[in-house]
Chains A and B, each alone.
Chain A
Amino acid sequence: MSSSVDTIRSLAEQEYKWGFVTQIDEDRVPKGLNEDIIRLISARKNEPQFMLEWRLNALRHWFKMAREEGAPKWANLKIAPIDYQAISYYSAPKQRPKLESIEDVDPEILRTYEKLGIPLDEQKRLSGVAVDAVFDSVSVATTFKGKLAEMGVIFCSFSEAVQKHPELVKKYLGSVVPHTDNFYAALNAAVFTDGSFVYVPKGVRCPMELSTYFRINAAETGQFERTLIVADEGAYVSYLEGCTAPIRDENQLHAAVVELVALDNAQIKYSTVQNWYPGDKEGRGGIYNFVTKRGKCLGVNSKISWTQVETGSAITWKYPSCILQGDNSVGEFYSVALTNNRQQADTGTKMIHIGKNTRSTIVSKGISAGFGQNTYRGQVKILKSAVGARNYTQCDSLLIGDKCGAHTFPYIEVRNATARMEHEASTSKIGENQLFYLRQRGMKTEDAVSMIVNGFCKTVFKELPMEFAVEAQKLLGVSLEGSVG
């Protein structure tokens, strides 16, 4: 009996591997949140007037929300109160003001990304992934920019987009997630400091995966990035986002917004591997991940797919959604969410069917281990106009041990009788039978657990780009170590 428990216990001692801190000089604004801070951030970033006004608008709305109702309380999460005045809303590595090439990036930061295995170096172009890396609040380098520019693809930091493509930013910023959408979206709109911007012009199939890597380094800061991806008519883009943070005792706030816009016949595939620091075994520290992600299938026959692998963060509050406005548009959501130790996740999606013959697919795989609490919350809404809409939802939970929890909250609202809805749900437990079978074939306990979990997640992993699927599998293995006993 003892051996497998021992193995597991020893594995449980394995710590978060990405928890190092990089020593760099920071340029940060004073703690606190008020209009002067917003003006300061906007000035630091040399923003045009419309941006400053947009931010101030959002801030006023946020104050109103904070006064009237505070942070949303409907999620199945236990959250310690957050003092929004104790956070510094802008932290940037201090260095030369302008970053034109990779040589300008602080070598200390480059070493950090090297440790994380991010192919920032253009020498590694064979990997075929263009990377924008956001360190604390600012984007430090964007690779492959030149090659993409030849095809008319814009892939740059949000700050740069504001400077160089203000007309696109003005047109689409907030068009999918307005600042009034929710508490954290309002906060983000006021204080966001950087993020990534992608525009793929008409008929262009983006030839490589675009990728952003987010890292929170500084203490007592939050990260509030904003990503905007626009695929023009007939365009295609696949985008991947990864995240890590150092180990710190206090909780850090990450409140990002991602907006996707797909015009006629366009397709956007957005994949996330989220591995923010989850806190220690007792639940101290860790990232609060409050993210609003939404895509709008604006054009006919457009398609937006969200694939997420959520293994990190102390708390995850995240519902990547699709507004299916164009006729025949397609929305997909594939999710693996893992909670171990004291982690909590309340995640899912919203599929809003507006156009005719719109289709959506939801596949959610929740894995709970340790004392982890995992909630799937999904809404499928078929509006009156959505003739012939279809939804398929599959929602599976896997429990490891007997102290964790899995919860499912599906909301279905149908206003058109031609809609077809399918919903399947299951809850299972990794059994002693399965483990013994694999061990009898020679596999170690941790490999056996990893194999069973990976099998459980297979339908989601196959949606990820190949190399990231491999990463996700490994990550899941590491995050689960120590979970059986």
Chain B
Amino acid sequence: MALLEIQNLHASVNGHEILKGLDLTVNAGEVHSIMGPNGSGKSTLAAVLARRETYEVTQGRVLFDGKDLLEMDPEEAACEGLFLAFQYPVEIPGISNAYFLRSAMNAVRKYHGEDELDAMDFLPLYKERMKLLEMDEQLMNRSVNEGFSGGEKKRNEILQMAMLEPKLAILDETDSGLDIDALRIVANGVNAMRSPKRGFLVITHYQRLLNYIAPDFVHVLVDGKIARSGGPELALELEAKGYGWAEENEQVLPA
């Protein structure tokens, strides 16, 4: 059974159709990269999968680990193991990173009927994962994303992913705004999380990130549909030829 199965997905925002019949299958253990020009629907796809309520699904179906994802609330999808690393992580003044993340983990544990983690269980793991992302331990007591640099915010997203250990991680342009060192650190974090049980959907604008996170599949999204799919070589070809090439040479994909 596929981890994520998207069939003929149509979605709109404020009556404006953005996704126009998208098909995609992600199996556990695979890393898929979604590339595409601005406005092609990449971030909409991420938001719809994370069940953001301002996006309306008008057609199609999505199975997540065999369950109907489109029936789920954002929190339900999250508890079922879907994680979105935000393109613009939100600040929450007055709430420490450690408290926030432990609350999130406990919400997921509660959903699965497991005991809550206390600070003693949580902290050692948190510190260990912070090291992986080369983050200063001091950050755990600071308010969520408040006063963080762009790079710190993105690292914080990956740190949360590393702690929540989702089945499916969606990275929405995590590479945007990162310098080369931050990019490497974020990619290391993601690579450390690769596992036969976990799938990744890496949404990016540039091929650059894929030098660090080697995808198994690359898809090009154009005007709300997958225009081309291929292996890692497709990303290189895109980088060389531009998105215009992918649009003009739309493949007919096998159903």
Measured CB to CB, the residues of A under 8 A from B are 1, 3-4, 432-434, 436-445, 447, 451-452, 454-459
B93, B101, B107: the one contacting A447 at CB < 8 Å is: B107
Which residue on A lies nearest to B72, using beta carbons?
A: A3
Q: B253 → chain A, closest Cβ, in Å? A: 29
B127 beta carbon closer than 8 Å to chain A? no
Contact with A along B154-185 (1 / 0, CB 8 A): 00000010001000000000000000000000
Q: A1-B53, A451-B100, A455-B143 are in contact. Are A440 and B94 (CB under 8 A)?
A: no
B195 beta carbon closer than 8 Å to chain A? no
Name 13 extra pairs, CB < 8 A, besides A3-B73, A432-B54, A442-B105: A437-B89, A438-B104, A440-B50, A440-B75, A441-B164, A442-B164, A443-B75, A443-B103, A444-B75, A444-B107, A454-B95, A455-B93, A458-B95
Q: A250 → chain B, closest Cβ, in Å? A: 38
Closest 3 CB pairs of A and B: A455-B94, A458-B94, A441-B104
Q: A3-B53, A443-B75 are in contact. Are A452 and B92 (CB under 8 A)?
A: yes
A443→B84 CA distance, assembly (Å): 14
Contact B92 A441 (CB under 8 A): no
B86 beta carbon closer than 8 Å to chain A? yes
Measured CB to CB, the residues of B under 8 A from A are 50, 52-54, 73-75, 77-79, 83-84, 86, 89-90, 92-95, 100-101, 103-105, 107-108, 111, 143, 160, 164
Query: Taking each of A440, A444, A456, A458, which has the highest tally of chain B beta carbons within 10 Å of its own beta carbon?
Result: A440
Q: A433 → chain B, closest Cβ, in Å? A: 5
Q: B103 → chain A, closest Cβ, in Å? A: 6
Q: Which residues of B are found within 8 Å of A436, using beta-carbon distances?
A: 50, 52-53, 74
Describe A's contact surface by its main secondary structure.
helix
Contact B95 A455 (CB under 8 A): yes
Q: Which residues of A are found within 8 Å of B92, using beta-carbon distances?
A: 434, 437-438, 451-452, 455
A456→B54 CA distance, assembly (Å): 25
Contact B90 A437 (CB under 8 A): yes
A458→B100 CA distance, assembly (Å): 14
A210→B30 CA distance, assembly (Å): 62
**What are 8 of the A-B contact pairs (CB < 8 Å)?**
A434-B92, A439-B73, A441-B100, A441-B104, A442-B79, A442-B105, A443-B107, A447-B107
Q: B243 → chain A, closest Cβ, in Å? A: 28
A131→B68 CA distance, assembly (Å): 55
Q: Which residues of A are found within 8 Å of B53, using beta-carbon distances?
A: 1, 3-4, 432, 436
Q: A339 → chain B, closest Cβ, in Å? A: 20
Q: Which residues of A are found within 8 Å of B90, using beta-carbon distances?
A: 433-434, 437
Q: Which residues of A are found within 8 Å of B105, using beta-carbon distances?
A: 442
Q: Which residues of B are found within 8 Å of A444, using beta-carbon distances?
A: 75, 107
A1, A442, A456: the one contacting B94 at CB < 8 Å is: A456
Which residue on A lies nearest to B78, using beta carbons?
A: A442
Contact B75 A439 (CB under 8 A): yes
Q: B172 → chain A, closest Cβ, in Å? A: 11
A459→B54 CA distance, assembly (Å): 33
A1→B101 CA distance, assembly (Å): 25
Q: B69 → chain A, closest Cβ, in Å? A: 13
Q: A165 → chain B, closest Cβ, in Å? A: 43
Contact A443 B104 (CB under 8 A): yes
Query: Taking each of B73, B83, B84, B111, which has the highest tally of chain A beta carbons within 10 Å of its own beta carbon?
Result: B73
Q: Which residues of B are found within 8 Å of A455, using beta-carbon distances?
A: 92-95, 143
Which residue on A lies nearest to B88, using beta carbons?
A: A433
A434→B100 CA distance, assembly (Å): 13
Contact A442 B73 (CB under 8 A): no
Contact A447 B103 (CB under 8 A): yes
Query: Taking each of B50, B75, B89, B95, which has the highest tally of chain A beta carbons within 10 Å of its own beta carbon?
Result: B75
Q: Which residues of B are found within 8 Å of A456, using beta-carbon distances?
A: 93-94
Q: A3-B53, A458-B94 are in contact. Are A442 and B104 (CB under 8 A)?
A: yes
Q: Which residues of B are found within 8 Å of A434, using beta-carbon distances?
A: 90, 92
Contact B103 A451 (CB under 8 A): yes
Q: Which residues of B are found within 8 Å of A437, using beta-carbon distances?
A: 86, 89-90, 92
A3→B76 CA distance, assembly (Å): 11
A438→B145 CA distance, assembly (Å): 13
Q: B136 → chain A, closest Cβ, in Å? A: 21
Q: Which residues of B are found within 8 Å of A454, using beta-carbon distances?
A: 94-95
Q: Which residues of A are found within 8 Å of B108, using beta-carbon distances?
A: 442
Q: A442-B104, A442-B107, A442-B108 are in contact. Are A457 and B79 (CB under 8 A)?
A: no
Contact A459 B94 (CB under 8 A): yes
Q: Which residues of A are found within 8 Å of B160, using beta-carbon distances?
A: 441
A447→B215 CA distance, assembly (Å): 36
Q: Which residues of A are found within 8 Å of B78, using beta-carbon distances?
A: 439-442
Query: Taking each of A441, A451, A458, which has the highest tally of chain B beta carbons within 10 Å of its own beta carbon?
Result: A441
Which residue on B lies nearest to A456, using beta carbons?
A: B94
Q: B167 → chain A, closest Cβ, in Å? A: 13
Q: Which residues of A are found within 8 Å of B50, using beta-carbon distances?
A: 436, 440
Q: Which residues of A are found within 8 Å of B101, using beta-carbon distances?
A: 441
Q: B126 → chain A, closest Cβ, in Å? A: 15
Q: Which residues of A are found within 8 Å of B103, using beta-carbon distances?
A: 443, 447, 451
Q: Which residues of B are found within 8 Å of A451, using beta-carbon distances?
A: 92, 95, 100, 103
Which residue on A lies nearest to B105, using beta carbons?
A: A442
A286→B47 CA distance, assembly (Å): 43
A454→B54 CA distance, assembly (Å): 26
Query: Taking each of B74, B86, B104, which has the highest tally of chain A beta carbons within 10 Å of its own beta carbon?
Result: B74
Q: Which residues of A are found within 8 Å of B54, using beta-carbon distances?
A: 1, 432
Q: A202 → chain B, closest Cβ, in Å? A: 39
A433, A440, A447, A459: the one contacting B74 at CB < 8 Å is: A440
Q: Which residues of A are found within 8 Å of B79, using beta-carbon distances?
A: 442
Q: A484 → chain B, closest Cβ, in Å? A: 12
Q: Which residues of A are found within 8 Å of B104, using beta-carbon distances?
A: 438, 441-443
A470→B243 CA distance, assembly (Å): 55
A444→B104 CA distance, assembly (Å): 10
Q: A456 → chain B, closest Cβ, in Å? A: 6
